[in-house]
Amino acid sequence: MTVRLSIAGGIREVAAASPDVVAVVDGDRRLTYRGLDDRSSRLANALLAAGLRTGERVAVLLGNRLEYAEVAAGIAKAGLVMVPLNPRMTPPESAYVLGHSGARALVADQAHAAAVEGVAVPPVVLSLGGAGLGPSYEAALATAEATDPRSGTGDLDPFCVAYTSGTTGSPKGVVISHRSRCLTFYASALEWGLGPGRRTIAVAPMYHGAGFAFGYAPLCTGGTVAMLRSWDPERLLAMIARERAQSVFLVPTHAHMLRALGPAALRAHDLSCLDTLFFNAAALPGPLKEWVLETFPGVGVHELYGSTEAGIVTDCRPADARRKLGSVGRPWFMTEVRIVDEEGNPASRGELFSRSPFLMNGYLGDPGATAACTTSDGFLTSGDIVERDDEGFIYVVGRKKDMIISGGVNIAPREVEEALATFPGVAEAAVVGLPDERWGERVTAFVVALPGARLDAAALVAHCRTRLSGPKVPRTVELVEALPRNAAGKILKRALKESHAPPR
């Protein structure tokens, strides 16, 4: 029989070899690999007994909790396809994803019932934490067979359909294969030490692509993952110390909030166990990365770049962290990159494409959108504009759609944001182009101050004039308390533009 890649494979293997090793920690709850294997098989059989057939889709409405791992593995064991839902979705958003995906079942936490209030849910529902949404999840597992059904799926069959945040219109369903994620898990174990005996924490939301990839990877490779139920910087520090976590995945927003706690809060926790930090979602601003390197001097800091559609594309490893500030590194394992100018010619600055076994299968039910972002020889566009230096290190300049054209000059928001980040007291900044009758677009900056800092818009503009040429200097600076973000921690620049759009 041909052995096929499956995201449930590692759990089966570790359960057979080391059944008593703790796989998942959630507060006071501990689940061993034996338990994870058993409960995921029971869920698989419960779904199949309810009438679901190979390839059908199961929506999952859960936060970071112990059950997320067994639900994902159980869906895979049954040969079904997971459709993660963001618990913060509004009912219309949930209705769109449920309808577009054609989900035939829903596994949901009653605590997040508001996300599907008034929505036509699938015919099969299993509810955790109460029976308001449907029959009890625990009761279904208790009466189901514990034998692994091992429903056959191929390497390229989908394990999930992950919906994008919809920053450019209606969300698209990104179809991701078992091969894509299995290879990501094993390469991540090689890169960030997520294998047997290693401990990590699921910090980013498991319903998001990166959060799931780095929260589930330890389980496919024999490690232990602790669930951070909701983001809180103090709680994360306490959990690192209590669980003796070694590798932790964060996004820049997390680093901002850890820095805001102050040195005393960091010193109050024993973080000596920590040896690896890896960041994703957006490039770390130079000053923030310097803070991370100084605050965690014995920790290897990685900065990676990728997308839901492409998986991981690049990684800037610890040896290059300081000398290549601002870079997201070189291409990752098994990955080729191509940079082209507006005419499609090879260039050192231009739009980034990548080709690897991590790429999506395509957008669900949207061959036109799939064709629009892929090439005939299998490369996928990121939609990002990048620069590559003479050593092959890549720097993200900005989103192609976010490029500002002011007075006929192309301006990369990232360059302006980096200049603002060097001003004392600036926590972070986002730069967009807003409509302007004279210039076409005017460079507009939204700036968040560090706790206790007092910023002045005129001083920020003057600071930029010492670092940027005239067209790049912000015409307007707005001081704001926070920047809008999606589940992955990426700043929603469209939201900033829409909040300042002229009335129609």
Mean pLDDT computed over 464-479:
89
Give the pLDDT score at 329: 97
How far is the C-alpha of 404 from the C-alpha of 238, rounded, in Å?
42
Tokens, residue 311? 């998986």
The 3-state secondary structure of 367-425 reads HHHHHHCECCCCCEEEEEEEEECCCCCEEEEEEHHHCEEECCEEECHHHHHHHHHCCCC
The stretch 290-316 carries a mean pLDDT of 95
Question: What average pLDDT score do residues 20-24 get?
Answer: 98
Q: For 33-176, which CATH class? A: alpha beta
Please tell me the least confidently modeled range out of 9-18, 28-37, 404-413: 404-413
The pLDDT of residue 167 is 45
Span 336-357, average pLDDT? 94
Task: In whole angstroms, give the CA distance from residue 68 to residue 214.
Answer: 13
- Higher pLDDT: 406 or 305? It is 305
Task: Classify residue 227 as exposed, middle or buried by CB count within 10 Å of its CB (0-12, 13-18, 19+).
Answer: buried
How far lies 287's CA from each of 281, 292, 294, 326, 461, in Å? 17, 9, 11, 10, 18
C-alpha distances in Å from residue 413, one per residue of 89, 157, 236, 326: 29, 38, 31, 14
Is it the case that residue 275 has pLDDT exceeding 60?
yes
For 110-162, write each residue's pLDDT tens digit.
999 999 999 999 999 999 998 789 999 999 999 999 999 998 788 999 999 99
Cα 447 from Cα 3, distance rounded (Å) = 52
Q: What was the pLDDT predicted at 174?
A: 96
Q: Give the separation between CA 173 and CA 164, rounded to whole angstroms.
A: 7
From the options 3.40.50.880, 3.40.50.12780, 3.40.630.30, 3.40.50.720, give the CATH code of 231-399.
Answer: 3.40.50.12780
Question: Looking at per-residue confidence, does 47 or 433 come out higher?
Answer: 47
Q: CA dihedral defined by 182, 188, 190, 191, rounded to 10 degrees?
A: 160
DSSP 115: G
Report, as an integer, the average pLDDT of 383-411: 85
pLDDT of residue 488: 67
The better pLDDT of the pair 497, 268 is held by 268
286: left (phi over 0), alpha (psi -120 to 50) or beta: alpha
| For residue 273, pLDDT beyond 60 | yes
Per CATH, 33-176 and 231-399 having the same topology is answered yes
Classify residue 451 by burial, with Cβ atoms within 10 Å: 0-12, 13-18, 19+: exposed
| Domain ranges for the chain | 33-176, 231-399, 403-499
**235 and 228 in contact (C-beta within 8 Å)?**
yes
> Mean pLDDT, to the nearest integer, of 385-391?
95
- For residue 411, the model assigns a pLDDT of 83
Report the alpha-carbon distance of residue 192 to residue 200 in Å, rounded: 10
Instruction: Say what the pLDDT of residue 413 is.
Output: 85
Percent of the chain past pLDDT 90, that is, above it, reads 76
* pLDDT per position as a tens digit, 176-215: 999 999 999 999 999 998 999 999 999 999 998 889 999 9
pLDDT at 408 exceeding the cut of 70? no
Instruction: Indicate the pTM of the whole model.
Output: 0.85
* Summary mean pLDDT of the chain: 92
pLDDT of residue 58: 98
Is domain 403-499 annotated with CATH 3.30.300.30?
yes
| 51-65, 221-235, 399-413: segment of lowest average pLDDT | 399-413
As to burial, measured by CB atoms within 10 angstroms (0-12 exposed, 13-18 middle, 19+ buried), residue 18 is middle
pLDDT digits (tens, 9 = 90+) for 73-82: 999 999 999 9
d(CA 43, CA 28): 23
Question: Is the model's pLDDT at 2 over the cut of 70?
Answer: no
Q: Grade residue 449 by pLDDT with cuts at 50, 70 and 90.
A: very high
Quick check: helix, strand or coil at residue 29? strand
CB-CB neighbours of 480 under 10 Å: 14
Kindly tell me if the per-residue pLDDT of 44 is higher than 90.
Answer: yes
pLDDT for the residue 36:
98
Burial (0-12, 13-18, 19+ Cβ within 10 Å), 458 = exposed
